[in-house]
Amino acid sequence: MSSQVNGGLATLSDQLILATVLLYLAAMIGYALELAFGRVRTVAVVPKRQPVTVGGGASDDVPTGTEEPADVEPEAWAIKAGGIAVLLSWIGWAANLAGILTRGIAVDRWPWGNMYEFVVAICFAAVTAFLVLMTRQPIRFLGAFVTLTAALGLGFAVLFLHVQAGPVMPALNSYWIAIHVTAAIVASGLFILAGVTAILFLIRKDGVASVLPARKDLERITHRAIVISFPIWTFAVIAGAMWADRAWGRYWGWDPKEVWAFITWVAYAAYLHARATAGWRGKAAIIVSLIAFGCLLFNLIGVNMFFSGLHSYADLPK
């Protein structure tokens, strides 16, 4: 690969990422308006009562055993704001993709060779997962939270992780970066989606008015996202071991990044095992998933900040 850097494309990439932050924030506002005013506000369920004659004359209301939702009608303008937010999300997604591609072309390599590029790619993966799943599932209510998360992630990358575009160390000039790192990025994007819905599960209180879906729906989305992402993460860990053998002559060396990738795998495996065999549901399962999500975040960011090792190529700004 060439060591020359196209400065114009590198600058364009930085500008596109900044534009992406603004677009995601604008989309977040639209989603938030729709969430607050454009959705049916449901008060869990209330028992229907039926008058019953008592003592031949007076009557009293007793529960019939059936339930019905108490709803508040949405505002039409807020629904339009949600539609605009979807459009802004796709435009932001395109700008995010263009920023990644121009960075890669500028340096003539895969554009995730340092922490800045990696975080930008993970934010792109999270928004991609949301937009793709939104075409198949009614999860538009997640838009405000996913776009806010992506905007904060990109803002963090720009402010604290940004490094000038340039070549990477020789060990990263391998086709394995396209296999191992890409799999890790895709899985991480889905795990972030699961983490967002898990947090919303804890925020959502049953029996009170809320614009959020019921807890069981949030838990189902969390579970599905983890079910999809877990085998991809498993593949990423295995591919990383194979790459390590090619680059360093061993599959496993207790490098901090390797250890925390495995800890993350064990944590998500524990969540899936608890649901499948022990029948864990609700808050207990969600807490396990959030512990796994914390392991993921520490593996992605914290390890490179606080530990040194063979994965210290992260090129964090000094």
For residues 154 and 47, the model is more confident at 154
Q: Alpha-carbon Rg of the chain, whole angstroms?
A: 23
Question: Pairing mode, if any, of strands 59-72 and 41-53?
Answer: antiparallel
Nearest-5° Cα angle at 207, 200 to 198:
15
What CA–CA distance (Å, rounded) separates 43 from 138?
Answer: 19
Q: How confident is the model over 157-207, as pLDDT tens digits?
A: 999 988 888 887 776 777 888 899 999 999 999 999 999 999 999 998 876
Which DSSP string corresponds to the chain? ------HHHHHHHHHHHHHHHHHHHHHHHHHHHHHHHSS-EEEEEEEEEEEEE-TTS-EEEEEEEEEEEEEEPPPHHHHHHHHHHHHHHHHHHHHHHHHHHHHHHHHTS-S-SSHHHHHHHHHHHHHHHHHHHHTTSS-GGGHHHHHHHHHHHHHHIIIII--------GGG-STHIIIIIHHHHHHHHHHHHHHHHHHHHHH--TTSEESSPPHHHHHHHHHHHHHHHHHHHHHHHHHHHHHHHHHHS-S----HHHHHHHHHHHHHHHHHHHHHTS---THHHHHHHHHHHHHHHIIIIIHHHH--STTGGG----
What residues does 277 pair with on adjacent strands? none
How high is the pLDDT of residue 268?
97
Question: What's the pLDDT tens digit per position in 218-231?
Answer: 999 999 999 999 99
Per the CB < 8 A criterion, the answer to whether 123 and 96 are in contact is: yes
pLDDT higher than 80, residue 94: yes
Give the pLDDT score at 71.
53
Q: What is the pTM of this model?
A: 0.83
C-alpha to C-alpha distance for 261 and 302, rounded to whole angstroms: 12
Q: Give the pLDDT of residue 67.
A: 43
pLDDT at residue 120 above 70?
Answer: yes
Contacts of 263 (CB under 8 A, 6+ apart): 295, 299
